[in-house]
Amino acid sequence: MYAVIMAGGVGTRFWPRSRFKRPKQFLKILDERTMIEATFDRLGYLIPDDKIYVVTTENQSKQIKEQLSALKPENLIIEPKGKNTAPCIGLSAVILKQRDPNAVMAVLPADHRIQKQQEFHKVLSAAGIVASKRNCLVTIGINPTYPSIGYGYIQVNGKVDEINETPVYKVKTFAEKPDLVTAERFIQSGDFLWNSGMFVWKAQTILDEIEELLPELHDGLMEIQKYLTTKKRDEVIQKVFCQIKSISIDYGVMEQSQNVYVLKGDFDWNDVGSWEEVYKISEKDENENVLIGNHFARDTRGCLIDSPNRFIATLGVEDLIIVATDDALLICRRDRAQQVKDLVDAMKRKDLDQYLE
């Protein structure tokens, strides 16, 4: 099995610590290691270093090389421009297939937190067996622990197989991030899982699905394939990526395909998608606060305060997120943490790039 780590995102929900030039996968948010270091190290126990690939953009490639010294230089795949996950995965599949026509690839985001590594390896190995055995698309769903509005969901049909004591289910449907009432209904039904965004399949299988469901993207990938071993490789990749549409693998393939299976993961997973998620999984003091850095809190409850360098004092506040950097300060209610992305988008429209870069 090969691994492909997707590391081209910008992590706007983690502003002001996450910036365009140093997004969240390069930050130490919950660990002494950065998020991408933790992801790479976690795979090393299951997949040899020379079979681990990282996909990123040109402006992030230097940080990848600095943080992942064990990554083989030839295993760094650079997209000329971020075009969402379908082109990213398609390009990776073409490159892996050229190396190994029978390659099975695990596609993983760079910024997940997984505590139970042995269980994670067990599920990932089982997913590889299913992908090979059935020539299908495999995703990993997480048993939900609360009605999250920050995750997408997967509805499962009955069990169709069991590999290494891991049940395999046919996917019935995917659901986008719901409102709270809908999320509560999903949980009560018992047949919905959180969508982890982790996938396993043969390189050829995903290319076949892209050919059927995203034919324009497939045409571009086949053009790249012709030149992979020539001096024109980078030039052709640049040309194709300038022309193809930006589309996610979920919307373009997973939600349309009839050939998707899911394995349940129970390995203490979190996609660390917002400051609220950091709050949920961090240790709290006697007032339910998460306090990181230099602070003094009085009559303060249920807050996340992250200020490594600046002193912050709070008085009489509840359920806030306060994050300070040298040049910016974020204050928002915890229940609006998902909307930090919208705030960053609004700041871009107001030409406030100096606080985003």
Listed in sequence order, the residues at least 6 apart from 344 whose beta carbon sits closer than 8 Å to its beta carbon are: 12, 15, 356
Give the pLDDT of residue 81. Answer: 87
**pLDDT one digit per residue (tens) for the chain, 357 residues:** 999 999 988 889 999 999 988 888 999 888 889 999 999 999 988 999 999 999 999 889 999 999 999 999 999 999 998 899 999 999 999 999 999 999 999 999 998 999 899 999 999 999 999 999 999 999 999 999 889 888 899 999 888 999 988 999 999 999 988 999 999 999 999 899 999 999 999 999 999 999 999 999 999 999 999 999 999 999 999 999 989 999 999 999 999 999 999 999 989 898 888 999 899 989 999 999 999 998 999 999 999 999 988 999 999 999 999 999 999 999 999 999 989 999 999 999 999 999 998
State how far the Cα of 281 lies from the Cα of 272, in Å rounded to an integer.
Answer: 9
- 6 pairs with which residues across the strands? 55, 109
* Domain definitions of the chain by residue range: 2-270, 275-355
Structure tokens at 289: 């606060």
Using the CB atoms, write b or e for 68-107: b if 16+ within 10 Å: beebeeebbbbbeebbbbbbbbbbbbbbbbeeeeebbbbb
Tell which residue, 314, 298, 341, has the closest CA to residue 306.
314
State how far the Cα of 155 lies from the Cα of 160, in Å rounded to an integer.
Answer: 14
Give the pLDDT of residue 10. Answer: 80
Helix (H) or strand (E) holding 140: strand 137-142
Structure tokens at 237: 């990749």
Listed in sequence order, the residues at least 6 apart from 316 whose beta carbon sits closer than 8 Å to its beta carbon are: 298, 299, 300
Full-model pTM: 0.92
Under 8 Å between Cβ of 206 and 221: no
Under 8 Å between Cβ of 180 and 147: yes
- Domain 2-270 falls in which CATH fold? Spore Coat Polysaccharide Biosynthesis Protein SpsA; Chain A (3.90.550)
Give the pLDDT of residue 34. Answer: 93
Structure tokens at 337: 């943490």
Give the pLDDT of residue 301. Answer: 97
